[in-house]
Amino acid sequence: GQNIDQPTEMTATEGAIVQINCTYQTSGFNGLFWYQQHAGEAPTFLSYNVLDGLEEKGRFSSFLSRSKGYSYLLLKELQMKDSASYLCAVSASGGYNKLIFGAGTRLAVHP
Amino acid sequence: EAEVAQSPRYKITEKSQAVAFWCDPISGHATLYWYRQILGQGPELLVQFQDESVVDDSQLPKDRFSAERLKGVDSTLKIQPAELGDSAMYLCASSLGTADTDTQYFGPGTRLTVL
């Protein structure tokens, strides 16, 4: 079966660093996406990893280990506007770019 | 910046009624997706189109849901009859193609409430 696990909720302080983990078990693997979703809004694309290692993009970085079925999203210099849900999604084989989403991690940034 | 358009943004209906949602993908995007997102969960794919053809509708409840993309551009998702359990956010997304590296871009969604 397909299974993607993320923590349900996290809290962090403005200016700090937070790491959101994602573990997956899927039938095949063609890449992993991270999306940000503010309450009541559409998911917006943050990052894509298909090879092992760290991808850095400004304040956000994403890491992938295919052998461990593990990824994390690292957010640095947290701002209040980073309060949102963060969705981990895997592109599994056998589908036409079909994404399997985790339930999302709700991040609350406080002053 | 090009965006995926959806309407309506909000819809309240009574159970057993019919509802329809519309989506206009980013210009030039051949692939269109309809997702359902229940509060507190991640989006779940309902149906995927490549141009005007359905390539995946394995999770679409076909007894009550239907989707079409007649000219391979905009798309309509219909529910008839609506049930209480259909209350959710319905998201439309599009991508250039079906390659695994093709990013899916989401529209603002339609929030459906069934009373």
Name the residue among A40, A42, A98 with its Cβ closest to that of B48. A98
- More confident of the two residues B66 and A28: B66
Answer whether B41 touches A (CB < 8 Å). yes
- Inter-chain residue contact B100 with A97, CB threshold 8 Å: yes
| pLDDT tens for each residue of A52-64 | 999 999 999 999 9
pLDDT of residue A94: 65
pLDDT of residue B87: 97
| pLDDT tens for each residue of A64-102 | 999 999 999 999 999 999 999 999 999 986 667 789 999
pLDDT of residue B68: 96
What are φ and ψ of residue A105, in 5° steps? -115, 120
- Inter-chain residue contact B43 with A43, CB threshold 8 Å: yes
pLDDT of residue B1: 67
Residues 6 or more apart from B21 whose CB is under 8 A from it?
B6, B7, B8, B11, B76, B77, B78, B90, B92, B110, B112
pLDDT of residue B97: 81
> Is the pLDDT reported for residue A51 higher than 90?
yes
- Inter-chain residue contact B102 with A95, CB threshold 8 Å: no
> In angstroms, rounded to a whole number, what is the distance separating the alpha carbons of residues A49 and A32?
5
pLDDT of residue B98: 76
Q: Are the beta carbons of A31 and A91 closer than 8 angstroms?
A: yes
- Inter-chain residue contact B98 with A42, CB threshold 8 Å: no
pLDDT of residue B26: 95
Dihedral, B64, B10, A6, B85 alpha carbons, nearest 10: -30
> In angstroms, rounded to a whole number, what is the distance separating the alpha carbons of residues A20 and A35?
12
Instruction: For A23-50, give the DSSP string.
Output: EEE-SS-S-EEEEEE-TTS--EEEEEE-
* Average pLDDT value over all residues in chain A: 93
- Inter-chain residue contact A50 with B95, CB threshold 8 Å: no
Name the residue among B104, B109, B111 with its Cβ closest to that of A99. B104
What are the pLDDT tens digits along chain B (115 aa)? 679 999 999 999 999 999 999 999 999 999 999 999 999 899 999 999 999 999 999 999 999 999 999 888 999 999 999 999 999 999 999 999 877 778 999 999 999 999 9
- Cβ neighbours of B95 in A, within 8 Å: 97
Chain A residues with CB-CB distance to B under 8 A? Answer: 4, 30-31, 33, 35, 40-45, 48, 50, 87, 89, 91, 95-99, 101-104
> In angstroms, rounded to a whole number, what is the distance separating the alpha carbons of residues A25 and A68?
10
Tokens coding B53: 């053809």
Chain position carrying tokens 């983990």: A21
Q: Measured between alpha carbons, how far apart are the two ends of chain A, in Å?
A: 41
- Cβ neighbours of A104 in B, within 8 Å: 40-42
- Report the greatest alpha carbon distance in chain B: 40
Name the residue among B98, B107, B109 with its Cβ closest to that of A97. B98
Tokens coding B29: 């995007």
